[in-house]
Copies of this chain bind each other. A is one copy, B any other.
Amino acid sequence: MLKLTRKVEYALIALRHIQSKGDENISSAKEIADAYGIPAQLLAKVLQQLAREKIIDPVQGPAGGYRMKKDLESINLTDFFELLEGPVGLMDCFFDSNCNQHAQCNIKSPILKINDSIRTLLDKMSVADVMK
């Protein structure tokens, strides 16, 4: 409950690693996986996703890998999480709205308040903030 997924965790680890190597160097999925004990195939997918989202730039071929593309200051955590995991909300009701069974649910709007508070908090933090 209220946990981050490994996907997000791996993405953050990788981004921090890539950033620490500087703009001139490029880091491969395998290199990062080995460095942190992350399953290589899984990390590969996460990096591919980050590349699709234009956060990192892929370089193919041997000696290939990824380098930073987007400024991490410009991505807030809500967007980052949603881009990796889809809609972020404490309950599914907020986006699905197929909550037929609880027609007279008495906590939807109250929970929405907590939800908004958390989103506001995450909105105010950038991915770069997490890496300071």
Partner of A105 from the list B4, B13, B104, B130 (CB cut-off 8 Å) is: B13
Given contacts A13-B106, A81-B1, A106-B13, contact A125 B121 (CB under 8 A): no
User: Which of the candidate stretches A22-30, A41-49, A82-90 sits at the interface with the other chain?
Assistant: A82-90
Contact A110 B85 (CB under 8 A): no
User: Which of the candidate stretches A53-61, A63-71, A111-119 sits at the interface with the other chain?
Assistant: A111-119
Given contacts A118-B118, A121-B117, contact A105 B2 (CB under 8 A): no
Residues in A70-122 with C-beta less than 8 Å from chain B: 77, 81, 85, 88-92, 101-107, 110-111, 113-114, 117-118, 121-122
Interface residues of A toward B: which range?
Answer: 35 or more
How far, in Å, is A96 (CB) from chain B's closest CB?
A: 12
Contact B9 A91 (CB under 8 A): yes
Residues in A1-36 with C-beta less than 8 Å from chain B: 1-5, 8-9, 12-13, 16-17, 20, 35-36
Contact residues of A with B, CB < 8 Å? Answer: 1-5, 8-9, 12-13, 16-17, 20, 35-38, 77, 81, 85, 88-92, 101-107, 110-111, 113-114, 117-118, 121-122, 125, 130-132
List 25 A-B residue pairs with CB atoms under 8 Å apart, sorted by A's residue number. A1-B5, A1-B81, A1-B85, A1-B88, A2-B2, A2-B90, A2-B118, A3-B89, A4-B90, A4-B91, A4-B111, A9-B107, A9-B111, A13-B105, A16-B106, A16-B107, A20-B106, A36-B101, A36-B104, A36-B105, A37-B102, A77-B114, A110-B131, A110-B132, A117-B125
